[in-house]
Amino acid sequence: MKSLILPDLNQIPFEADSFLGRALGLGMQFERLPEHATDVVMAYLRAQSLAFAQRYRTGIALGRERLERGLKQAFVCVELGLEECSGGDLNQAVGLLAGGELEALRKRGWEQALARLGQMRAQSRTWSHCREVLFLREHRDQLRQWSQLVPESWTTRDLEGQEVWLDPRREYLCFQELESRLVLLRSLPVASVEELLQAAPGGGSFADVLRQLVLVLALGLEQLAAKPGEVVRFRQTCFTAGKMLPAVKDQVLGLFAEHLEKTMPAGRGNAAITQALRAQIDALEQAAPEKLEGMFIAIA
C-alpha cells in the first residue's frame, strides 16, 4: 500500500518568474499587497491540490503525483484567469489579487485551459491531413499527442501509450509557433511546394524549407526546389570568405519581412520565424564550402 504521508506542498517550487509570480512579487514590493499575500495564494492552491487528489484517488492513499498535478493545475488556472482578466497588465493583476477573488480567477482560467486544449486537439487533427505538415518532421510527435488530447484532464498519450500531462500555457505557445509555421508554408506557391515534396518524398524539417527560401530570395528564383547549378551559383556568388555578402543578406531578410507582412497576421510569430531564418543563414555560413550544396533540396 502506498504511504499515507502527504508530501510537503511547500516544497513544490512556486513559479516566481510567471505572470502570477511577478504580480505577487511586485504587489508586495510596492506595498499594494499584504506581506502574507503569497502565503494566502499558496494556501488556496494547496486546498485545490488536496481536492484534486481526493477527487481522483484510486485507494486510501493520496498519491504524491496527484497532489503535485492538482497544485500545478490550480496554479495554471489562477494564472491564466489572472492574465485574461487583467489583459496582461500587471497593475490590473495586482488589483485583482488584492480583491482576493482567487476562485473566480481559477474558474476563468479553467475555461481558458479547456478552450485552448480543445482548439489544439481539433486543429491538430485537421493539420494531419495537410501536405505542408510533411515539412514539419520535428513536430510530428507533438501533433500526434495533441490530436489525442483529453481537454478535461489535460492529458494525452505518448508513443508507449503512457499518460502525459500537458501544461496549457507552455504547450499552447508551442501550438501557436507551429501554427505560424504552417501559415508560412501555406503562403508559398502550391505548385512549388509540391515540386519540393517530389524532390524530397519523405518531407523534411521546417529548417529545410527556410534554407530553400534563403536560396530563392538570394538568387531571385521562382521555385523552391533548386537545380544543382543554382546551388553552385549561390555558393559562388553570394559568399565571400565563408560569409554571406551583406547586400545579399539584407536582400534576403528584407524580402522575407515583406512576405511575412503580407501573409502573416501582425505579431503572429513573425519575430520567431525571422529568428529561425537568421539561424539558417548562420548555419549556411558555418558550413564547410564542400558541404554547403548538400544542405539544400535540389532537383536531380
Domain ranges of the chain: 1-100, 188-295
Confidence (pTM):
0.87
Give residue-wise pLDDT tens across range 149-181. 999 999 999 999 999 999 999 999 999 999 999
**pLDDT averaged over every residue in the chain:** 89
pLDDT in tens, 212-251: 999 999 999 988 988 889 999 999 999 999 899 999 999 9
Whole-number Å distance between alpha carbons of 104 and 78? 8
187-210 average pLDDT score: 92
Does residue 84 have a pLDDT over 80? yes
Per-residue model confidence as pLDDT tens digits over 106-118: 999 999 999 999 9
Q: Kindly tell me if the per-residue pLDDT of 287 is higher than 70.
A: yes
In sequence order, the 6+-apart residues with CB closer than 8 A to the CB of 60 are 1, 4
The angle, 0 to 180 degrees and rounded to 10, between the axes of the packed helices 206-219 and 228-237 is 70
Q: For 53-75, what is the mean pLDDT?
A: 75
Which pLDDT score is estimated for 176? 93
Query: How far apart are the C-alpha atoms of 10 and 91, rounded to whole Å?
Result: 27
Cell of 149: 488530447
Averaged pLDDT for residues 257-279:
88
Residue 155 DSSP SS3: strand
User: Could you tell me the pLDDT band of residue 299, with boundaries at 50, 70 and 90?
Assistant: confident
Residue for grid cell 499575500: 37
d(CA 93, CA 79): 10
Does the pLDDT value for residue 297 go beyond 60? yes
pLDDT value of position 126: 96
